[in-house]
Homo-oligomer: A and B are copies of this chain.
Amino acid sequence: MSSTRDEIIETAAELLETQGYRATGLNQIVEESGAPKGSLYYYFPGGKEEFSTEAINKVAQEIKERIETSLAEIEDPDEAVEAFILRIAHHVRTSNFLKGGPITTVALEAVTTSERLNEACRETYDLWQSAFAEKLVQSGFSQARAKRLAALIIASIEGAIVLSRTNRSVAPLEYVAAELKLLLQTTPE
């Protein structure tokens, strides 16, 4: 129940979201977290790769729960997904386009960098996709269709976040929200 340990993970998660893996330095984490410098390798013998993996896993769980609770608030899947995406848009805007897509940069970096991080990212996306698919199945979509639609939802959100942060405008996220809403309004198959 070390508070220091948690602080490191929490700070790492934030920096990974805004900067990515390579750009996030140990010194910066120590500085911003206020954690004692000497304790980093005490808590995480595996170094940068280890606490980054833990940071990803933590974020994975948090977002998964956010997806579930958000989708549970509205019965119609099209409106539920729309509302969820607009929440993300708000998050991106209020962060001044510094946040959003907490593991996207790391996921791309990990492909050529770290098998361990890559695996953590893979599991994270699976987790999120399952959360969306479950809602769609409950709404009457077949398992197969729900899986495809969930992939589209995750993919388009991730991509729209890239576009929104790059353009410093949440318009891409709003467009995606509107179009996905239309697609999900069709009769479930």
Contact = CB atoms under 8 A, between A and B. Distances in A.
Contacts of A97: 111
A112 B23 contact: yes
A89 interface: no
Contacts of A180: 152
Interface of A: 18-20, 22-23, 97-98, 101, 104-105, 107-113, 118, 121-122, 125, 147-149, 151-152, 154-160, 162-163, 165-167, 171-172, 175-176, 178-180, 182-183
A108 B158 CA distance: 11
The interface residues of chain A, by DSSP majority, are classed as helix
A178 B104 contact: no
A123 B180 CA distance: 25
A148 B122 contact: no
A171 B182 CA distance: 23
A113 to B, nearest CB: 7
Contact of A20 (B108, B160, B165): B108
29 contacts: A19-B109, A20-B105, A22-B22, A23-B112, A23-B113, A104-B162, A107-B165, A108-B165, A110-B166, A111-B165, A111-B166, A118-B166, A148-B175, A148-B178, A148-B179, A151-B160, A151-B163, A151-B172, A151-B179, A152-B176, A152-B179, A152-B180, A155-B157, A155-B158, A155-B159, A155-B172, A157-B159, A159-B159, A183-B183
Nearest to A111: B165
Give the 4 A-B residue pairs with the shortest CB-CB distance, closest first. A155-B159, A159-B159, A158-B159, A156-B156
B175 A147 contact: yes
Nearest to A164: B155
A139 to B, nearest CB: 16
A20 B109 CA distance: 7
